[in-house]
Amino acid sequence: MKWYWALTLIMITSSVSAQDVAVLQYKGGGDWYGNPTSLPNLVKYCNAHINTRINTEVVSVETASPDLFRYPFVHMTGHGNVFFDDNDKINLKNYLISGGFLHVDDNYGLKPYITKALKEVFPEQELVELPTSHEIFQKPNQFPEGLPKIHEHDGKRPQAFALFYEGRMIVLFTYESDLGNGWEDPEIYNDPEEVREKALKMGANIIYYVFNH
């Protein structure tokens, strides 16, 4: 299996230089395709403000696809059910422990499904809440109170949870914030400009963190 790990590491390394990102297309009936303008808008913002050169042609990638290894950053969102079959679990785990990163943004109602699905991929690990002092909230934009609140749903505070592997963050789960709604085209939710700016700045922090680790 040494050849497999060597190949995946080469693919991850080449992808980092290309700075491609993708949306995760998962099974289960959940709307993985929600917020279609979110990631493209975040990419444009990052290219303009934090000197990234991310491909603006954002595509979707299936969980079990070998193409997953082309993307150092994969974004996942939705409201409903998430299901990973055995091939999905193996591929996603190999991707993440080989250098990939998954950002899961709860668009409302995703938490019970993604928590269960991730537990099946990493049964020995737990999602842990990031403290407000974590680096991801510090640069390039300061968020002294941690994850910002973008859209109100249940009146709960926004939280950022993470999975770590050998000391490296491999999954970030943003909950009760709805960053993706804030990244959408302005006419979709009619958010005030300062709210959209806050969401985009937090998104830029996530991208910055991933590409610098």
Which of 59-75 are b and which e, b meaning 16 or more Cβ less than 10 Å from the residue's Cβ? ebbbbbbeebbbbbbbb
Stretch 14-34: mean pLDDT, rounded?
A: 81
DSSP 147-200: SPP-S-SSSPPPEEEEEEETTEEEEEEEESS-HHHHHS-HHHH---HHHHHHHH
Q: Which amino acid is at 178?
A: D
Stretch 3-17: mean pLDDT, rounded?
A: 43
CATH at residue 76: 3.40.50.12140
The count of C-alpha atoms lying within 13 angstroms of the C-alpha of 148, restricted to the half-sphere facing its C-beta, is 25
The CA distance from 39 to 74, in Å, is 10
Instruction: Report whether pLDDT(16) > 90.
Output: no
Which tens digits make up the pLDDT trace of 146-178? 999 998 777 789 999 999 999 999 999 999 999
Which tens digits make up the pLDDT trace of 57-80? 999 999 999 999 999 999 999 988
Single out the residue of 27, 42, 113, 115 nearest to residue 73, CA to CA. Answer: 42
Domain that holds residue 26: 2-211
Mean pLDDT score across all residues of the chain? 91
Tell me what pLDDT residue 168 has.
97
Number of Cβ within 10 Å of residue 117's Cβ equals 23
Which tens digits make up the pLDDT trace of 84-122? 999 999 999 999 999 999 999 998 889 999 999 999 999
Residues 6+ away with beta carbon under 8 Å from 103: 73, 74, 75, 76, 171, 172, 174, 206, 210
Tell me what pLDDT residue 30 has.
86
Tell me what pLDDT residue 204 has.
98
Q: Please say whether the dihedral angle defined by the alpha carbons of residues 27, 119, 211 and 109, taken in this order, is positive or negative.
A: positive
Stretch 31-40: mean pLDDT, rounded?
A: 94
Distance, CA of 197 to chain centre: 18
Tell me what pLDDT residue 147 has.
97
Tell me what pLDDT residue 18 has.
53
pTM value?
Answer: 0.90
159 vs 5, residue with greater confidence = 159
pLDDT band at 4 (very low <50, low <70, confident <90, very high): very low
Single out the residue of 187, 209, 206 nearest to residue 196, CA to CA. Answer: 187
The number of domains in the chain is: 1
Single out the residue of 170, 169, 171, 191 nearest to residue 182, CA to CA. Answer: 191
Q: Please say whether the dihedral angle defined by the alpha carbons of residues 160, 166, 168 and 171, taken in this order, is positive or negative.
A: negative
Tell me what pLDDT residue 17 has.
43
